[in-house]
Amino acid sequence: MIADAIGSSIASVATEQRQFARKLRRHATEAEDILWSLIRDRCLDGLKFRRQVPLLGYTVDFLCIERRLIIELDGRQHGWEADYDAERTAEIERHGFTVIRFRNAEVVGDRDAVIAAIRNALAT
């Protein structure tokens, strides 16, 4: 019985995370839409990226599993959540992922520099 309860609880959390990720995809920011248009469908060096992916109890903005690279876009709210973001990044990196961050304004204002930084992170 306990195993069933734990299993259904885990399934419920996973379902909630997937639903939350779907909601985020439907309500993307301008910066997320721009970046997604640049990296989707293997447009960036033939690599597959996914967006709004549940991972380790978090939802990451963009993920390239093949290179274990996560791209996070930070809006104004991230200035207030800097400690949370740092803890989250550290935990994700402990699992072998690389996390890179861009401010929304960077993506909107200088796409070429963002793509160059992503390519640099992919190369390491």
The rounded distance, in Å, linking the Cα atoms of 62 and 6 is 29
In this predicted model, which residue has the larger pLDDT, 3 or 39? 39
The residue-averaged pLDDT of 71-79 equals: 77
| 76 has pLDDT over 60 | yes
What pLDDT score does 82 carry? Answer: 81
| 78 has pLDDT over 80 | no
Q: Which two tokens stand for residue 15?
A: 């379902």
pLDDT tens profile 15-25: 776 665 565 55
What pLDDT score does 85 carry? Answer: 87
In this predicted model, which residue has the larger pLDDT, 8 or 107? 107
Order of strands across the sheet with 98-103? 50-55, 58-64, 69-74, 98-103
pLDDT tens profile 39-68: 999 999 999 999 999 899 899 999 999 999
Q: Given its phi and psi angles, is residue 72 left (phi above 0), alpha (psi -120 to 50 degrees) or beta? A: beta
Instruction: Map out the domains of the chain with their CATH numbers.
Output: 2-123 (3.40.960.10)
pLDDT tens profile 80-123: 678 888 999 999 999 999 999 999 999 999 999 999 999 999 99
Task: Write down the pTM of the prediction.
Answer: 0.79
Handedness of CA 72, 77, 83, 84 (dihedral sign): negative
